[in-house]
Structure 1
Amino acid sequence: MTDLLSALGLVLAIEGALYAAFPGPMRRALAAIGSQPENALRRTGMLALVLGVVLVWLVRG
Structure 2
Amino acid sequence: MRLFSPDLYRNFAIGFAVGALALGVANAGTGPEAQPEPIETSAVAAPIAADFRITPLEVA
Query: Does the TM-score normalized on the shorter chain lie above 0.5?
Result: no
- Which is richer in helix? 1
TM-score range, shorter chain: 0.3 to 0.5
Highest CA radius of gyration, 1 or 2? 2
TM-score normalised by the chain length of structure 2: 0.38
TM-score normalised by the chain length of structure 1: 0.37
Q: Return the structure number with greater relative CO, CA threshold 8 A, min gap 6.
A: 1
